[in-house]
Structure 1
Amino acid sequence: MSVFKQALVFTSFGVSDVRARQASLDASAKLLAERFPAWDVFQCYTSNFIRKRLQGQGVLIPSLPELLKSLASQGYSRVLIQPSHLTPGEEFDGKIVAAAQEAEGWFSAGLMVSRPVFDAAEDYKAVLSAILPEFSLEKGEQLVFLGHGSPHHHNPVYERFQQVVDEHRLPVHIGVLEPSDTPNLSMVISRLKQRGAQQIMLAPLLLAGGSHVTRDMAGEAESSWKSQLMAAGFAVRTRLQGLGEYPSFRELYVSKAQKALALSGWSK
């Protein structure tokens, strides 16, 4: 008698920092395993650079194509891919959707790709509700989030998120790290000055607190966001935790997977 096997694949860009990886990606995968006991949960990374770096440290994490081939060879009948990616940008389309299309037909009961955190209109408010309680702002302090952005074309998610924030009249400002995308740091600084801000809490709108956080956001170099904000006249304190370190944010992945299963007609 054959055993019906189904896999839930938690797919991330990846992070090489051990603490950040365990506190965000591993913690999210553990939660998915707890909430979906009928599914075998696996992890893979889409960044070849990070995978090679980890391999040099003796940590072997497969790419999505490698993992899908392995699952097919192990006799899995059904696969649900849950991306950890925040937006449906280049990485999601080029590394996840493309790999899933390549593997279409390998699994007798189907292969499905769930959606990123920022996807539907209601997701923006859901993210706000999940993360804002984690921040205690001092009187007069304003919150600046550093997102990643897309390297080759504009990703409108961050501007849409800012619109939702502004509709709620919150002292929150969102910018992106990629110099070719917007809103960039200079735009954020302009917003802050228009609102008469003096004190800033700077925090990552990134899943894991890796080098983008410790170097590009909060580093001591003149090029870091912290240094540039201070040079612009603001008092700055930093919050280094990635979004994946907040239990309320990790629950969003559970919700996304549940929604995907409901749409597919597959049982939980």
Structure 2
Amino acid sequence: MRTAVLAVSFGTTHLDALRADIVPVEEALADAFPGCPVYRAFTSGVVRRRLRERQNMHVDSVEEALARIRSDGMGRVVVQPTLLLPGEEYDGLCAALTAADGLEVRAGRPLLYGEDDLDGVIAALRQAYPVGEDTALLLMGHGTAHAANALYEAMARRLRALPGAAVRLCTVEGVPTFEDAAAELAALGRPRALLVPLLLAAGDHAKNDMAGPAPGSLRARLEAAGLRTACVLGGLGRLDGIRALYVRRALQAAGGLD
């Protein structure tokens, strides 16, 4: 029985972020599953529509990708989401996989599925972004109204408890908020902040909400409070340590395959 790999991302309309952040994860999965074709799906219908309209580029939905995999004669598929949390997008993915017919499906977990996953992600980020004693590292995630936002809050607590480390977390649409981050950085008393997207791909949220010139951006708020900032416009998919974690989850999911 032939096996395929399906990499499922939320997606991005920024082609530079697609190439630099999403493609490397897909390539890492291909390396981990030699001889197995790797397919792509985006969960966001808005992203898929905009890519089609603006770039004349088609990306499958999860359902379309599964149908393509069946049509190509595959009998099994290892599905690895590049999602960070088990939130709404993951719930939709699980529903689509449950409804899949004619395929043996093995699904990996998101990057942060539970609190046991926090330390590995934090270690990869600290290794990728070391900072000096005058600089705080501020991670910006997306945030969600879904109960999975509790993982961001748990990560924020874990970061605060790190001995001697000035690493903090905020989110665009959840908690901790930008205001929370500004207050925490002020309390740390470090004059500089390195802003890093806790996002797979550095698209709109990284370029605008985090690093943009508008007064409400994270960078603008911190600079208005007197901090000197620098921004990393690169997503998690560029980091070797993060890609390794996604590959590990896919290999764990495939463990029952012959």
TM-score bracket for the superposition, by shorter chain length:
over 0.9
The more displaced of 5-14 and 191-200 is: 191-200
Is 1:45–2:36 an aligned residue pair?
Answer: no
Structure 1 residue aligned with 2:168: 173
Number of the residue aligned with 2:102: 106
Does residue 92 (structure 1) correspond to residue 90 (structure 2)? The answer is: yes
Structure 1 runs (4+) deviating above 3 angstroms are: 151-154
Q: Tell me the residue number matched to 1:8.
A: 5
1:136 Cα deviation (Å)? 3.1
Q: How does 1:146-185 map to 2 (within 5 A)?
A: 146-151=140-145, 155-169=149-163, 170-178=165-173, 181-185=174-178
* Partner Cα distance (1:154, 1:5) in 2: 34
Deviates more, 1:189-198 or 1:216-225: 189-198
SS at match of 2:99: helix
Listed as ranges, the matches of 1:1-268 within 5 Å are 4-56=1-53, 57-94=55-92, 96-103=93-100, 105-107=101-103, 110-151=104-145, 155-169=149-163, 170-178=165-173, 181-262=174-255, 265-267=256-258
Paired residue secondary structure (2:230): strand
Partner AA of 1:166 in structure 2: R
3-state SS of 1:8 partner: strand
Q: Which amino acid aligns with 1:54?
A: L
Q: How far, CA to CA, are the matches of 2:114 and 2:76 in structure 1?
A: 25
CA contact (8 A) 1:154 1:182 kept: no
Structure 1 SS opposite 2:84: coil
The CA deviation string for residues 34-60 of structure 1, in whole angstroms up to 9 with x for no partner, is 111142211110111111111121211
Cα 1:61–1:20 change in 2 (3 A) is same
Aligned to 1:156, the other structure's residue is in SS state helix
Distance 1:111 1:208 in 2: 26
Q: Which deviates more, 18-27 or 68-77? A: 68-77
TM-score, length-normalised on structure 2?
A: 0.94
What is the CA RMSD across the aligned residues, in angstroms?
1.5
Q: Secondary structure at the match of 1:28?
A: helix
Percent identity for Structure 1 against Structure 2? 32
Offset of 1:73 from its aligned partner?
2.7
Aligned residue pairs, count? 256
Q: Structure 1: where are the runs of 5+ without partners?
A: none
Secondary structure of the 1:233 match is coil
User: Post-superposition shift, 1:112?
Assistant: 2.1
TM-score, normalization: structure 1?
Answer: 0.91
Q: Which amino acid aligns with 1:131?
A: L
Q: Is the 8 A contact 2:199 2:236 kept in 1?
A: yes
Distance 1:215 1:166 in 2: 26
